[in-house]
Structure 1
Amino acid sequence: MARVATATGGRPATTGVIPGRWALSVGNPGTPTAPGFEWVRLSDLARLESGHTPSRNKPEYWDGEIPWVGIRDATANHGRTIHSTKQAISELGLANSSARLLPAGTVCLSRTASVGYVVTMGVPMATSQDFVNWICGPELSPRLLHYILMCEQESVRRFAHGTTHQTVYYPEAKAFHVCIPGRPEQDAIAALLGALDEKIVVNERIATAADELRMIQMEAAAREDPALVPLSSLASFVNGRNFTKDASGSGRMVIRIAEVGSGPGASTVYNDVETSEQHLARPGDVLFSWSGTLKVARWCRPEALINQHIFKVVPNGGVPAWMMFDLIAGELPAFRAIAADKATTMGHIQRKHLDKSVAVPKRELWGSLDRSLGVLWNRALVADREALALADLRDTLLPKLISGELRVKDAERLVSGAV
């Protein structure tokens, strides 16, 4: 492993080679990963561009028509092609800063704060200085570069420096090498993985549309001569246990607040402890995090352990799960306001707040509503689970394809049945 020297101004300068796991390296390792692949300096195949933030003290520089990629866009959309951003700058902001308008297809890698997140521009955009951006030439598929960086996220983080704030400096970015085949196979790999991603997006849209349609119809039904009942009278709210303590590191995932909506990550805890049914989450269960980040979610992953600060919402007899989800979702703004008023480091609600009266359709309508709206709930669950299965398949194939361990023709047979 090469040592990293420090350049003028405290910025590290690369000396030697620091290999990644599969197809990315700082410096040229020399030996290709597979026949037909070769290591090439990335900056020889793609133009490296930086970003910039227009002055925040100039309101006229902001809220314009030019999408501007910030760290939040990257962390929320890792591995995706994006067509919109949380913030936009004006033509004036672009002209009076070092920001650049980059073309669609530009691959963006976050280099500071949250290091290693990858997005590709679906339309022309600018970025903050927190990114290194590559505009690929004809010898490199931008989609394949996107997948290489996405797969090598942990390697990119190893290339970063700093104690308080990790940063990938430009000397490292300029020294990046990628191990790639010829352009035809690059395109074939990207197309195969892209087919899985497109199917994932379709399923996500199905789930979102089904949920939105159900919630609209539920709200309309509740407005017509509603009954007012305490939320707590409709379900049991079972608090999780501290399964992170003495966790074994194997077995079932422990669902903390972070995993409620986003699923497992690098810090996810696993435990093989046995527990009662009331502390297990299975696909279709409703989970409600009542502390810190308040949110409600439909669990769609394999059986897992529910940690403290999360309620498993167990509907009472005759109460559909989707109804509890919709009612809690409708009350989230009020619950979050209560939590924000708590003078603690982590805001939360108390059980007494679950006694709040909520408007529900009359009970005699529940059966007919469940026959129509329950179908939408189940369709969304199926779409969610299919998207997860496709993502697992993509993530399994990704390192094998970009390293040459698995060739496209062999992978096509695995993908054909899935898409």
Structure 2
Amino acid sequence: MSEWREVTLSQLGEVNRGRSRHRPRYAEHLYGGTYPFIQTGDVKASGGRISQHSQTYSESGLAQSRLWPAGTMCITIAANIAETGVLDFPACFPDSIVGFIADSKVVDVRFIEYAFRTLKAGLQHQAAGSGSVQDNINLATLARLKFLIPELSEQRAIADVLGALDDKIASNTRLISKTGEVLETSFALLCGLPQETIPFSEMASITKGVSYRSADLLESSNALVTLKSFDRNGGYSLRGLKEYAGPFKPAQEVAPGELVVAQTDLTQEAEVIGRAVRVPRAPGYEKLVASLDLAIVRPRQDSPVEFLLGVMLQGRFRAHCRSRTSGTTVLHLASDAISTFQAPLVSQDIQENYASVARPILQLRDSLEYEMDSLASTRDALLPQLVSGKLRVRDAEKVLENAGV
């Protein structure tokens, strides 16, 4: 490793905080603007590449902010600590995010973003032990972070290997999002606008998940389905499972193909609450159990489970759930929110027709999610080995070939 050298982040480029420091001052510029405005949630959901934004910033707001160039690495220093992503476009962001502009003659920003991921757990632990009311890390800490870097050509090769895996994961994510759109559109086409409705409680039963203690999160052949099992693109994440050794009632067990709905949300944008997902088989676990943040939805009579999912994928259902939400830091769904929704009353033939359309789409989604889990596991295994120089690029490329990437 003689060709590798140790440097600090500040030696590799500019490290500075975003400039929109006072929320009351910049809030007025967030609507109807021209420039993308990145928030911590956008960075966390980016998967390392920020290609979407949730807000825009106005021309007048730039006087108290800064337009960061494409290629800037964003690092969250409050709320979601030490999340990173590289901007695909110029954007503004608040002082809860630090921007790093790499010296392109010395370092590939993609390499540093990957190397930074290996430091994430340590930074989060450090922030949690700081004793402050809100976990955070400061600019000086980030500037002093040390990295081992090889020659620029080697950095690019390493980033290309890891990027190939992330690109495939991103492709699967987009396809999963499209399957959700197809399911929603198919429901509207086949079921039409209902002339009659019935309370959802007459169509389905709703069972609350188990209340658990952290002491129950032990190595086990059982696992909890949690809020982390819901991704922002409408899919299901196998990586959201937590091994669970505690007690639960038979009704709280989730069988493959059953539906769960998020009853809690940690995001103020209410991205998850009221969202329904179908839980696929989980290789490696005997039983899955719904956590207290979820509700299990099961057909009461002859309604196919796919039809119930179609009902809950409609925007009208999500809007109903959002209207029955309360809380400030954490959002909670009212206990009767799901059961009181007015579901479309359609014939059994129409329900079965929709189910026959939905099943192959859901099977495709399952296969995409299994592949994503495998790809993410491969990336996470290769990443620390590559960015430390313990694994050569050509050996990693053989792993990618075996994985079909």
Normalising by the smaller structure, the TM-score range is 0.7 to 0.9
Q: Secondary structure at the match of 1:85?
A: coil
Q: Distance in 1 between matches of 2:404 and 2:249?
A: 35
1:409 pairs with 2:394: yes
Q: Which residue of 2 aligns with 1:242?
A: 211
Structure 1 runs of 4+ off > 6 angstroms? none
Between 346-355 and 182-191, report the one with greater CA deviation. 346-355
Q: Distance in 2 between matches of 1:408 and 1:205?
A: 28
Q: Secondary structure at the match of 2:324?
A: helix
Q: Note closer, same or farther for the CA distance 1:210–1:59 as it changes in structure 2 (3 Å cut).
A: closer
**Contact 1:208/1:380 (8 A) holds in 2:** no
Q: Secondary structure at the match of 1:126?
A: coil
Unaligned runs of 5+ in 1: 1-33
Where do 1:196-345 residues align within 5 Å?
A: 196-223=165-192, 228-244=197-213, 246-247=215-216, 249-251=218-220, 252-261=222-231, 270-273=243-246, 278-281=251-254, 283-290=256-263, 293-300=273-280, 302=282, 303=285, 304-315=288-299, 318-330=302-314, 331-340=317-326
Q: Note closer, same or farther for the CA distance 1:257–1:204 as it changes in structure 2 (3 Å cut).
A: closer
Q: Secondary structure at the match of 1:287?
A: strand
Q: Which residue of 2 aligns with 1:152?
A: 119
Q: Which residue of 1 aligns with 2:6?
A: 39
Deviation at 1:347, TM superposition (A): 4.1
Between 349-358 and 365-374, report the one with greater CA deviation. 349-358
Q: Which residue of 1 aligns with 2:268?
A: none
For 1:104, give the aligned amino acid: A
Q: Which residue of 2 aligns with 1:85?
A: 53
Deviation at 1:192, TM superposition (A): 0.8
Q: Note closer, same or farther for the CA distance 1:201–1:58 as it changes in structure 2 (3 Å cut).
A: closer
Q: Distance in 2 between matches of 1:399 and 1:145?
A: 12
Q: Distance in 1 between matches of 2:281 and 2:126?
A: 32
Q: Which residue of 2 aligns with 1:143?
A: 110
Q: How many aligned positions are there? A: 380
Unaligned runs of 5+ in 2: 266-272
Deviation at 1:360, TM superposition (A): 4.4
**Contact 2:41/2:80 (8 A) holds in 1:** no
Q: Secondary structure at the match of 2:205?
A: strand
Q: Note closer, same or farther for the CA distance 1:360–1:413 as it changes in structure 2 (3 Å cut).
A: farther
Cα-to-partner distance string for 1:357-398 (whole Å, 9 max, x where unaligned)? 411442123333333232222222222222222112211211
Q: Distance in 2 between matches of 1:254 and 1:58?
A: 40
Where do 1:169-208 residues align within 5 Å?
A: 169-208=138-177
**Contact 1:301/1:385 (8 A) holds in 2:** no
**Contact 2:7/2:148 (8 A) holds in 1:** yes
- Note the aligned Cα RMSD (angstroms): 3.1
**Contact 1:240/1:310 (8 A) holds in 2:** yes
Q: Secondary structure at the match of 2:79?
A: coil
Q: Distance in 2 between matches of 1:196 and 1:107?
A: 19
Between 112-121 and 367-376, report the one with greater CA deviation. 367-376
**TM-score (structure 2 length as normaliser):** 0.82
Q: Distance in 2 between matches of 1:259 and 1:91?
A: 39
Q: Which residue of 1 aligns with 2:361?
A: 376
Q: Note closer, same or farther for the CA distance 1:176–1:91 as it changes in structure 2 (3 Å cut).
A: same
Deviation at 1:316, TM superposition (A): 5.0
**TM-score (structure 1 length as normaliser):** 0.79
Deviation at 1:348, TM superposition (A): 3.6
Larger Rg belongs to = 1
**Contact 1:60/1:92 (8 A) holds in 2:** no
Q: Which residue of 2 aligns with 1:16?
A: none
Q: Which residue of 2 aligns with 1:386?
A: 371
Q: Distance in 2 between matches of 1:166 and 1:265?
A: 24
For 1:43, give the aligned amino acid: S
**Contact 1:225/1:362 (8 A) holds in 2:** no
Q: Note closer, same or farther for the CA distance 1:270–1:312 as it changes in structure 2 (3 Å cut).
A: same
**Contact 1:231/1:355 (8 A) holds in 2:** yes
Identity between Structure 1 and Structure 2 (%): 21
1:129 pairs with 2:114: no
Q: Distance in 2 between matches of 1:50 and 1:58?
A: 15
Between 346-355 and 192-201, report the one with greater CA deviation. 346-355
Q: Distance in 2 between matches of 1:333 and 1:221?
A: 21
